Structures are given as structure tokens and as C-alpha cells.
Amino acid sequence: MTNTKILLVLSTHVYSDKAIEYAVRRAREEERQLVAFFLLESELAEEASERFSDIGFTGDRPSATLSESLMREYRQRGYEALGRAQIKAMEDGVDFEPLLKEGPYVSTILEVIRAHGIGLTVIQRRKERSFLHYFKKGLSVKVKEAASCEVVIIE
């Protein structure tokens, strides 16, 4: 048994019941605290509103409203995802801490790992959104390479 915490990473575009089940099972079996972290990927909302501004030539107001509306939606989804993880953790008698933060994928996850003294990170493989994924590493692999703890990638 170890005292370090398990970090379950959920994010705007990556959500998996498999990852939740795996993280909760490990936390129960190893009697570790589970930190469920929902990452709000703000750059996706910004990307969409920039597209409206750059190509659609919409003004600042409609672009900002659009971005706010997307972020509100992502935040809501975050609370719902954390709620589902919490229910599963409570059913299994696992100590649970929810966390919701906004930021870029890799650096924000690494920051949470450091700040919370995480010993194991459970992460779902994040698909790249363009054909570039054939040529470059996925973001989840980047997290695994840079993290100071064990990282399990759920396929």
C-alpha cells in the first residue's frame, strides 16, 4: 500500500467510463485517495471563436459570446463528469477529491500532478483532431513522458 494519490484525468473532449472504473478500482484496492480532475480545454473554444473572427469577420462581441457560451457548456459537462466519477467512488468507498481547472492539456495536467503529490495518473488516450496525429505524438503520450509519476493510458 502507498499513501500517494491517484489522479484521474477527464477533459472536455476525452471522457471514458473505462478510465473512471479503472482509477476507482486501483484506488479501492490500494487504499489511495482519488483526485478526479476535469480539464477545461479553453483553447478549443478560443480556436472556434478565432475562426469566426478571422474567416467569418464577425465582430468581437459575437465571437466573445460564442466563446463564453462554449466555455459555459464545457464547464457544465465537467461538473457532470466529476459527479459521475464521485458516485462511482462513493459506491466503492473511495476517498474522493474533485478538481476542475482551465488550461492547455499537457502543462496543466503536469502542474496538477506536482501540486497534489500524485503517485499514479490515469488518463484516456486523447485523439489528435487532425491528420497530424500520424506524424506526431499524442498528447497523452507527451504527458506520460514528462510526468514525474506512473501514468496509465486507457485505450
Q: Name the residue among 96, 147, 108 with its Cα closest to residue 12.
A: 108
CB of 31 to another protein, least distance (A): 30
Give, as ranges, the residues between 78 and 97 that touch another protein (CB under 8 A): none
CB of 106 to another protein, least distance (A): 11
Q: Could you write out the DSSP letters of every residue in 74-139?
A: HHHHHHHHHHHHHHHHHHTT--EEEEEEES-HHHHHHHHHHHTTEEEEEEEPPPPSSGGGGTS--H
CB of 107 to another protein, least distance (A): 8
Tell which one of 107, 128, 133, 150 touches another protein (CB under 8 A).
107
Distance CA(72)–CA(106), nearest Å, equals 22
Q: Which stretch binds another protein (CB under 8 A): 3-11, 32-40, 57-65, 86-94?
A: 57-65
Binding site for another protein (CB under 8 A): 12-13, 44-45, 47-48, 51-63, 65-66, 69-70, 73, 76-77, 107, 110, 114, 129, 145-146
